Amino acid sequence: GAGVSQSPSNKVTEKGKDVELRCDPISGHTALYWYRQSLGQGLEFLIYFQGNSAPDKSGLPSDRFSAERTGGSVSTLTIQRTQQEDSAVYLCASSPGTGTFTEAFFGQGTRLTVV
């Protein structure tokens, strides 16, 4: 596609429910990143996929958060048993690879509201 696509754009869920957020990276990009942006804060790294390598999950805040990337393309971020503190904008980015001259391109994010 022309850019990184995220869906849904907005999601309201009840506390305790599970949610799935989707990211379609730019075609051919091997690297994919998830970030979380809480109100009034900068972006917080969550997880990083590069090709077929094991993902870097060091930023996931708890075991309620997980992500997968199928076929090296689309990624899904899953939050189980959502809590109010999970309310944030979740941003996805992709880049052509890990070379030092590759730029990360961001999607427009999913705004998650847990009520």
Partner 1 sequence: AQTVTQSQPEMSVQEAETVTLSCTYDTSESDYYLFWYKQPPSRQMILVIRQEAYKQQNATENRFSVNFQKAAKSFSLKISDSQLGDAAMYFCASNYGGSQGNLIFGKGTKLSVKP
Contact 107, 96 (CB under 8 A): no
CB of 16 to partner 1, least distance (A): 26
Cβ proximity to partner 1: between 57 and 81 the closer is 57
What is the per-residue burial (b if ≥16 Cβ within 10 Å, else e) of 32-71? bbbbbeeeeeebeebbbbbeeeebeeeebeeeebebebee
Instruction: Give yes or no for residue 107 binding partner 1 (CB under 8 A).
Output: yes
HSE-CB of 14 using CA atoms within 13 angstroms:
1
* Minimum distance, C-beta of residue 37 to partner 1, in the bound complex (Å): 8
How big is the site for partner 1, counted in residues (CB under 8 A)? 28
- Please identify, among the stretches 15-23, 63-71, 74-82, 89-97, the one whose residues bind partner 1 according to the rule CB under 8 A: 89-97
How many Å apart are CA 115 and CA 79, to the nearest integer?
14
Q: Is 95 in the site for partner 1 (CB under 8 A)?
A: yes
Residues that bind partner 1 (CB under 8 A): 31, 33, 35, 40-45, 48, 50, 56, 89, 91, 93-95, 98, 100-104, 106-109, 111
